[in-house]
Each structure stands twice: as C-alpha cells, then as structure tokens.
Amino acid sequence: MGQKHWSSFHLQTKSLLWIIGITCALILACRYLELPYSNAIFSLLSTWKVPTLGSSTFHAIGPSPDDENVNKVKILNQPNSTVEHALEVANKNKRSCGNDTLPRAGFVSEPGSQQKESLRFFVCDKISVAESVKELGNVSTTQQAGAGNFTSRLEDESGTPYANSPSPSAEKAPTYLTPPLNSITKASSNITNAVLSHQDNKTNFVKEDSFRPPHNDGSTLHRNSKPKTNEASRIPVPEVTTTSEMNKLLLKSHASYRSERPKWSSAVDQELLHARSEIENAPIVENDPNLYAHIYQNVSMFKRYIYKTTRLTLMLLILRSYELMEETLKVYIYKEGDKPILHSPFLTGIYASEGWFMKLMEANRQFVTHDPNKANLFYLPFSSRNLVKALYVEGSHSHQNMIQFLHDYIKLIAAKHPFWNRTNGVDHFLVSCHDWAPIETKSHMAKCIRALCNADVNEGFVFGKDVSLPETNVRNERNPTRGLGGSLASKRKYLAFFAGKMHGYVRPILLQHWLNKDTDMKIFGKLGKTKGHKTYIHYMKNSKYCICAKGYEVNSPRVVEAIFYECVPVIISDNFVPPFLEVLNWESFTVIILEKDIPNLKNILRSIPKKRYLQLHKRVKKVQQHFLWHNKPVRYDLFHMILHSVWYNRVFSATYIDS
C-alpha cells in the first residue's frame, strides 16, 4: 500500500515539475519573442522584482604614472531624489512635445500643416523652466545637498590610494575602498550597431538670442522646457552612456565601422590603406618631450582590446597617426559658393570654432592641394552659424530653407566635380558649431565626416565617423589667446563657479540646489555686464572647479573656457561626447558628473583630496595646448587636433575596391 502511495506521489511530483517547466518556458517565450500579452503576464510577476538603489558614476580619477586604471567614484543616491523627478519631467516633455515641434529634416511639410506644428510648439512651451522647477515642492537644505554614501578609490600620482580626505561633516565622511580591477572588454556589436545607425530625430532651437524663435510672452523657448505633469505619468530618465562606454564604442567602431565603397579606385585610396597599416603597426615609443603622457589614452586601448595593469608607453599609436597626417594628408577645398554662408569665417563668439578652422584651413599651405586628384579629404567650407543668420525665417520654426540650401550646394558640387559621386561624400568633411548643424546636415551630408560641437550620443552622433568639435568662445579675434591662464592652484579661493543664462533644464536645477546656498559654491544665473567680462573671468581664474553645465544641447563653451583659465572642468552633460576622445583621456583631467547627481555636487568636489586636485590642475595646464587658436597654427594646437580627428576617422573607416 505504501509503495502504491509512493508511486502516486512520485507521479504527481513529476507532473507538477513538468507544469512548472512548461509555464516558465511559455513565459520566457512570450518575453523574448514579444508575443501578445507578454507584458500582462510579466505584470502579474512584478512582485518578483528586487528593488535596487540607483547608482551613478563620476569620473574624477585618471591614470597614474604607474597604474593606468580608469578609476571611478560611485555615488549612491538617495531614493526619490527631487532632481531625478525634474529630469524625468524634462524627458517626458522631450518625448511628448519636442519630437513633433518641427517637420523632420529632409521632408517638406504638407500645405497647411505648418500652422498646426507651430501651434503645438507654443502649447508645449507655455510653462517655463523656472515654473516647472517650482513643482518639485519645498525641499529642505539637507535634502538639496543630497548627501549620499560614497565608495571610491582615489590615488595620488604614484598610484597609492588615499586613506582619508576632507568631508563636509564627520557623519558623511566617505570611505575609500579598492574595487576589483576593471578590464577593457570587447564592446557588444549590437550596442555599437545601434549607435552607428542611430538617427537624429530631435527638435533644435538656436542658442543665441538673436536667432532664437520668439515667444509670445517674450521668453525663450526650447524643447527641454518642462510643462507641469501628473506624478502618475512620469517617464524614466533615458540611459546615460558614460565616458568609459564611449571609449569602448569608439574602439569597436574603428575595428568594425566602414564607410561606403568607392565607385572606382584611386591612388589616394592606397595611401590611406598604407597609413592604416603604419598606424596599426606603430613602434612603441617610450616618451615624447612635447606630450605629457598622463592625459592621453593608453596605447593598448588603441592597438588591441587589452588592458594592462602596469603603466605602458602612452601615445605611440596616435603620435604615429599625427606624423602620418603631417606627411600624407592633402585636402581639397571647393571654391564654389558665395559669401557669407561659404568662405566667410566668423571669428568671435561661441560659434567661433567653425570660423577659425575655415580661416586657417583656407590659408594653409601644408595640407591644402589645388589638385583634387591628390586629395585624401575634401572640405565643404560653409558656416552653419552664417547659414542660420542668412536663411532662418524668424518665427517659422523650420529648418527647410537651410536644408534646401545645403542640398543645392551638394548638387552643384556633384555636377561640376566627380569626387562627391565617387564616394557619395564619405571622403568629404564639414566643421560646424551651431546647435542646428546636426539636423541641417543629416539628410544630404549624412555620409560625410561631420565635426560637430553638438556631439550627442543620443542624437545621431556616429562613432568612428563623426568628430566632436570643441566649442570655443573667442573674445578677441586679433589675439585669441589673450588673457590665457589663471591663478596658481594654491591661490584659488573659490571651490566652484558657474554663471550663465537659464538654457535647457539642467541649469535651473543647478541653481535650485546651489544658488545662494553655500559660500564656497559661487553659482549664479546670468551675471551683469562688465567691461571685458571681468567678473566672469575673475571667477574662472580664481576657482578650483568650473561647472560646465549643458544648455539647450550637450555642448558648452565653458569646457574649453575652463581649460583656457586653468580651472578644472566639471562636466554635467549626460551623453556628451568629449572632443578628441580617440586621443585624450578625459577622465584624467576633468570631473564628469551625471545630471542626477547635482544635489551631491559639493560633496563630490569636497571628497577629492588636495593631492588629487593638484594632479587635475597640472593636467589641465598640460592639455591646454590642444585647445588654443593661433593666428598661425602651431603643432598640436586646436586646428591640428581637429584635422587629426577627421583624418584618423577617415583612415579607419575607408573601404577599398580590392579589399
């Protein structure tokens, strides 16, 4: 009898296990095959999810001479952070309003549809950024400070971890622990392909007041202005691509991304092939007297997907690439086109990068060739800033005039020359600093190498092809380096400084938490005008850290301004691709903070030991040479660095007929 019961029990157990197994298989099939009702099934299982405490990373640690590990300081944020809520509200507005405010580039609106688009534009932006910040409610000073728990590994120049560092209070003192060594791994091809194929679908508005579409109440509009929203309808903040992840994507793209194959072969193709071979097999060079190794990427990161724990020789792949550029590169500049949009450099203001490059490129004798058959690259000498100034119709909220102009310009070049048609423009490049340049060039110049100030991972920037262009605010066109430098590190009396207009959604949050809250934090809105911007420059020259908070777009001239005045840049701009990423290790001379960590800003900066700050300050001074304009270009200066990035991407993306 007992044996009979045991057999029955055994049979029931088997049946139960089979039922559980089939159920799990069905659930997994629904989940991964995206079958109908899969979301409903998983919502029933939501209690299985384990809540996790959000974490973020700021990169304040660069490679030391004896250890080139990329160290990170992890911040554990308080739950229900007010700044996270504000960013979620901004993201909701971006998705619900921003994508539809303008007709997509490359498409002409149907007759009568423009009025509806304009109407939607104004409805979405009736509430200003300042008003939307108010909806966060009353936040105590302690909450605004957002003191969190820190886990970090900070090292001095010799690679020795610091045991302690100053902290605002004994209760909140961070503890320093040594994390396991992170190895550089091969980036997922799926992630890379997603980035490379990402299409720009955003709405853009001009940064300068004179070009910005007017509002009926006189205020400034932008897609990131946040309307009031219901708490239940909040949308999660989009994922952030960290600088370390960008480095991996860049490496992967140089190994896998290839441009369109040319329609017929040319002798210059073989020059590029030879250059790539020379770069990939560059001999190891122990040091270079003109370069400070600690601010550059590790040579192993460029040569192989290997990460070594000891200090290796740095730079000697990129140095070889730079030398080959000087020996090999020839650029042909198209002469077609009239001023002021073409051949008319604009040399002052925040968009001056494109103008200075144009001026120096057209006057250059080393790289410019008048025989297009000898050219490795073809330069399209138009100014995106002058394009907007000449063709934007005030109040139209449309880019069509500008897009059409560039379309006609390309048609003219293609009709007169065979070079565009040979490659469909992949060996052509443009240098554009205006916020609208990505959307203006994505339709008819999408295959070109685009050097853009507005370099946003989430807005169509293509690793391995596009170049992040530094945004430089040139105040004196006769002497662009006038006022260079600042106070000694030991003489800088302010911890942090920021001043600027309330562009976008990040800056109002910065002011909400730090305006008039702390004597060490010199955080302001727009400063009153002074002759020669003396007040603004005074703070830049006398602050340890300069806050580079994004405005309407990810880019900001403050990054280069901070380097210019020898103030350590604190970059607060999620998904911003730093310039010259293939060469410079930005984590070694800047502090990069996620937007949601603004409440922790002072704690983060205070947690950086004095020795580490002095290291950062020294490296800012060393990297400064790469961000300077000169009336006559100097080796390794900004002109040469931009040109090198374009050349480097072309060498590694070129495809050959016989390959």
**β-bridge pairing 73-76 and 55-58:** antiparallel
Confidence class for position 316, pLDDT limits 50, 70, 90: low
CA distances from 392 to 3, 358, 389, 401 (A): 89, 22, 6, 7
Inter-residue contact 427 to 418 (CB < 8 Å) = no
Percentage with pLDDT > 70 across the chain: 62
CA distances from 111 to 114, 116, 117, 527, 583 (A): 7, 11, 12, 44, 49
Inter-residue contact 468 to 455 (CB < 8 Å) = yes
Mean pLDDT of 485-489: 97
Would you say residue 142 has pLDDT above 70?
no
Give the pLDDT confidence score for residue 517 in this predicted structure.
Answer: 92
Inter-residue contact 127 to 134 (CB < 8 Å) = no
Q: What are the structural domain ranges in the chain?
A: 244-282+318-473+645-653, 494-627
pTM of the model: 0.68
Confidence class for position 292, pLDDT limits 50, 70, 90: confident
Residues 6+ apart with CB under 8 A from 371: 332
Inter-residue contact 318 to 75 (CB < 8 Å) = no
Residues 6+ apart with CB under 8 A from 125: 97, 215, 221, 222, 225, 227
What DSSP designation does 269 have?
H
Would you say residue 114 has pLDDT above 60?
no
**What is the rounded distance in angstroms from the CA atom of residue 484 to the CA atom of residue 476?**
12
In one-letter notation, the amino acid at residue 552 is: Y
**What is the rounded distance in angstroms from the CA atom of residue 511 to the CA atom of residue 601?**
12
Per DSSP, the three-state class of 368 is strand
The larger pLDDT score, comparing residue 318 to residue 354, is at 354
Give the pLDDT confidence score for residue 20 in this predicted structure.
Answer: 84
Inter-residue contact 157 to 597 (CB < 8 Å) = no
Write the DSSP assignment of 239-254 as a string of letters: P---HHHHHHHHHHHH
Q: How far is CA 477 from the centre of its chain?
A: 27
Give the pLDDT confidence score for residue 39 in this predicted structure.
Answer: 43
Mean pLDDT of 418-440: 96
Would you say residue 633 has pLDDT above 90?
yes
**β-bridge pairing 428-432 and 377-379:** parallel
pLDDT tens, residue by residue, 220-272: 333 333 333 333 333 344 589 999 899 888 888 877 888 888 999 898 998 99
Confidence class for position 296, pLDDT limits 50, 70, 90: confident
Mean pLDDT of 404-422: 97
**What is the rounded distance in angstroms from the CA atom of residue 155 to the CA atom of residue 71?**
9
Mean residue pLDDT across the chain: 73
Would you say residue 644 has pLDDT above 80?
yes
pLDDT tens, residue by residue, 53-64: 333 333 433 344
| Dihedral (CA of 603, 609, 614, 618) sign | negative
Of 445, 438, 441, 498, which is closest to residue 468 (Cα–Cα)? Answer: 438
Give the pLDDT confidence score for residue 533 in this predicted structure.
Answer: 86
Confidence class for position 416, pLDDT limits 50, 70, 90: very high
CA distances from 313 to 70, 284, 406 (A): 16, 7, 45
Mean pLDDT of 510-521: 95
pLDDT tens, residue by residue, 81-93: 455 555 555 554 5
Confidence class for position 405, pLDDT limits 50, 70, 90: very high
Give the pLDDT confidence score for residue 215 in this predicted structure.
Answer: 31
Inter-residue contact 303 to 251 (CB < 8 Å) = no
Backbone region of residue 501 per phi and psi (left: phi > 0; alpha: psi in -120 to 50; beta: other values)? beta
The larger pLDDT score, comparing residue 265 to residue 286, is at 265
Would you say residue 180 has pLDDT above 60?
no
Would you say residue 504 has pLDDT above 50?
yes
Contacts by 238-243, CB closer than 8 A, 24 or more apart: 238/91, 238/458, 240/56, 240/574, 240/575, 240/594, 241/457, 241/458, 241/575, 242/57, 242/59, 242/592, 243/59, 243/578, 243/581, 243/586, 243/587, 243/592
Q: How far is CA 603 from the centre of its chain?
A: 24
Would you say residue 282 has pLDDT above 90?
no
**β-bridge pairing 149-152 and 175-176:** parallel
**What is the rounded distance in angstroms from the CA atom of residue 579 to the CA atom of residue 638?**
10
Q: Which of 162-171, 596-605, 614-623 has the lowest mean pLDDT?
A: 162-171
Mean pLDDT of 573-602: 96
Q: Which of 27-31, 80-84, 584-588 has the lowest mean pLDDT?
A: 80-84
Torsions phi, psi of 585, nearest 5?
-95, 90
Give the pLDDT confidence score for residue 252 in this predicted structure.
Answer: 86
Confidence class for position 461, pLDDT limits 50, 70, 90: very high
Would you say residue 2 has pLDDT above 80?
no
Mean pLDDT of 383-395: 95
**β-bridge pairing 149-152 and 467-468:** unpaired
Give the pLDDT confidence score for residue 532 in this predicted structure.
Answer: 79
CA distances from 129 to 137, 170, 416, 511, 571 (A): 14, 36, 49, 12, 21
Would you say residue 476 has pLDDT above 90?
yes
Per DSSP, the three-state class of 133 is helix
Per DSSP, the three-state class of 523 is strand
Give the pLDDT confidence score for residue 7 in this predicted structure.
Answer: 65
Write the DSSP assignment of 624-651 as a string of letters: GGGG---SS--TTSHHHHHHHHHHHHHH
Confidence class for position 542, pLDDT limits 50, 70, 90: very high
Report the Cα–Cα distance between both ends of the chain, in Å, rounded.
78
Quick one: tokens of 376? 């490795």
**What is the rounded distance in angstroms from the CA atom of residue 528 to the CA atom of residue 507?**
17
Would you say residue 36 has pLDDT above 70?
no
Quick one: tokens of 378? 């073809």
At the topology level of CATH, where does 494-627 sit? Answer: Rossmann fold (3.40.50)
Would you say residue 188 has pLDDT above 50?
no
Quick one: tokens of 622? 């060393």
In one-letter notation, the amino acid at residue 95 is: R
Q: Which of 198-202, 566-570, 588-592 has the lowest mean pLDDT?
A: 198-202
Per the listing, tokens 């959307």 go with 439
Mean pLDDT of 589-600: 97
Mean pLDDT of 170-182: 32
